[in-house]
Amino acid sequence: MTRLVALNKPFDVLAQFTDSASPTKRRTLSEFGLPSGVYPAGRLDRDSEGLLLLTDDGRLQARIADPAFKLPKTYLVQVEGAPTEADLAPLRSGLRLKDGPTLPAEAHLIDPPGLWDREPPVRFRKSVPDRWISLTIHEGRNRQVRRMTAAIGFPTLRLVRWQIGPWRLEGLLPGTWQEVDASALPPPPSDARQGPKPKPREKARHRARR
């Protein structure tokens, strides 16, 4: 039976089970008592928080992680500055990053969400306001959300992944996890490429963000 686990990954934790790249042995997923045999379906940077899905099924892992399947991912983003809805227009229409144009995203301003306190706290500049944005993308580029908000002039201060496809973070405190229903995943879009069933794996080498 396929296992699918939802974890609320805390800030400053690598989305992998080992850390061979640093002599200081940074925090990893190994400290959260996750079931054996599950591996992350996609990545979540060390300096980001929130929903990380893990599974023991290679095909499901690919369905969740591969951008070809266009699974939406929603982030709650605290940005420096005071953007207006008009400022978010480039995110909605697609903007050009160094690695090419992005797909149109869903973006709108939201009230500050009732989240847990981050450890360590976000560093603010008292003279500069901040706002929260809900941003839904259908891609998975390296540090994409941070690059998108920076491109419109509002650097990301805090980034929390709230939803992947049908699975949401609600009810999970940082460092806690629960098994979720893998059958909730909708069928792939007709233009998504199909391939052989891969084996679940964890990348041996992972560039962690400092």
Using an 8 Å Cβ cutoff, are 82 and 129 in contact? yes
Establish whether 87 is a catalytic residue: no
Catalytic residue among 45, 66, 87, 130: 45
The token pair that represents 45 in the structure block: 């940077």
Write the secondary structure of the chain as one string of H (helix), E (strand) and C (coil).
Answer: CCCEEEEEECCCCCCCCCCCCCCCCCCCHHHHCCCCCCEECCCCCCCCEEEEEEECCHHHHHHHHCHHHCCCEEEEEEEECCCCCHHHHHHHHCCEECCEECCCCEEEEECCCCCCCCCCCCCCCCCCCEEEEEEEECCCCCCHHHHHHHHCCCCEEEEEEEEECCEECCCCCCCCEEECCHHHCCCCCCCCCCCCCCCCCCCCCCCCCC
Of the candidates 103, 87, 169, the one whose C-alpha atom is nearest the C-alpha of residue 141 is: 103
Residues designated catalytic: 45
